Amino acid sequence: MKKSRAAVGNRSGRRKQASSQEGKEKCAFGSSQAKPSAPSAGPARQQKALLQASVSPYHLFRDVAEVTALQESLLDWYDRKKRDLPWRRLVEDEVDLDRRAYAVWVAEVMLQQTQVATVINYYTRWMQKWPTLQDLASASLEEVNQLWAGLGYYSRGRWLQEGARKVVEELGGHMPRTAETLQQFLPGVGRYTAGAIASIAFGQAAGVVDGNVIRVLCRVRAIGADSSSTLVSQHLWSLAQQLVDPARPGDFNQAAMELGAIVCTPKRPLCSHCPVQNLCRARQRVSHPRKGGSQGS
């Protein structure tokens, strides 16, 4: 079984997902000259062709060796520097796949819109009270709301409980095993959360994009266009999928988020401590402005 660990929120507190309304990250470094506009509605194939045609190679990873170098550097850094968080410990020690998926799911839902420091206490109490899907499924909504009190966005707790009941009643207590089926089956679970659960708990090579990953990818590939636009969002998901390490997808996704949380921060990123600084176009532009600044389209 693969060793993987649960995800984290960002340092400043709130996990942002990469839906058009949630991820409005702008790159702090050089702005790309590319200003892609949102495509009109149409077949997925047309949109993909439009996406490929509109993105300069400067904003892509064309070289397999470069992808491998980024994966290795990021994972090596993560193994040495990752924060010790209760959901990571729990998932690391858990061999039952349904319990692992449940532990990741609860953490990911709590981390949406809530600071890591705040979530730790709530998560610990939640998992002590309802350590399994079955325990949560038999809880009352009143109990759930009581434990959730102060965390905000109460629909999140309700969705967790509704989802647990669905899994127990309709799937015999077994969580859906892929990002696609998790997103389809669980209430309130979007593309990011489904990918996080599938990669961390089940080892599915599904890339994920949240606010931290948006910032890292935008900087590494010098993407200055509005990340909330449909076209840029599609490009970022495509990059995340290309980069995720199939051997350790859960750890890779967490490493990318961790990098955005504690090194590639919104203000004053710690570039000299960054494991991917040699691959970062934003860093190159700052270090060699004339060389880097002439790139992009």
Three-state SS for 96?
Answer: coil
The answer to whether residue 59 forms part of the interface with ligand SF4 (CB under 6 A) is no
The residue among 58 and 159 lying less far from ligand SF4, judged by its C-beta, is 58
User: How many angstroms separate the CA atoms of 158 and 176, rounded?
Assistant: 19
User: How many angstroms separate the CA atoms of 202 and 166, rounded?
Assistant: 20
CB of 31 to ligand SF4, least distance (A): 14
DSSP 248-277: SHHHHHHHHHHHHHHTS-SSS--GGG-TTG
The answer to whether residue 216 forms part of the interface with ligand SF4 (CB under 6 A) is yes
| Count of residues near ligand SF4 by CB under 6 A | 14
The answer to whether residue 263 forms part of the interface with ligand SF4 (CB under 6 A) is yes
- Specify whether 25 is catalytic: no
Of residues 172, 178, 173, the one with CA closest to residue 197: 178
The answer to whether residue 151 forms part of the interface with ligand SF4 (CB under 6 A) is no
The residue among 133 and 257 lying less far from ligand SF4, judged by its C-beta, is 257
User: How many angstroms separate the CA atoms of 296 and 83, rounded?
Assistant: 35
157, exposed or middle or buried, with CB in 10 Å at 0-12, 13-18, 19+? buried
The answer to whether residue 74 forms part of the interface with ligand SF4 (CB under 6 A) is no
The answer to whether residue 261 forms part of the interface with ligand SF4 (CB under 6 A) is no
The answer to whether residue 208 forms part of the interface with ligand SF4 (CB under 6 A) is no
Amino acid at 103: A
The answer to whether residue 257 forms part of the interface with ligand SF4 (CB under 6 A) is no
Active-site residue, selected from the candidate residues 25, 72, 92, 108: 108
In b/e form, how buried is each residue of 262-296, taking b as 16+ CB within 10 angstroms? bbbbeeebebeebbbbebbbbbbbeeeeeebeebb
CB of 160 to ligand SF4, least distance (A): 33
The residue among 108 and 258 lying less far from ligand SF4, judged by its C-beta, is 258
The answer to whether residue 219 forms part of the interface with ligand SF4 (CB under 6 A) is yes
User: How many angstroms separate the CA atoms of 184 and 196, rounded?
Assistant: 14
Tell which positions 265-294 bind ligand SF4, by CB under 6 A.
Answer: 269-271, 274, 276-277, 280, 282-283
Q: Which residues are catalytic?
A: 108
Binding residues vs ligand SF4 (CB under 6 A)? 216, 219-220, 263-264, 269-271, 274, 276-277, 280, 282-283
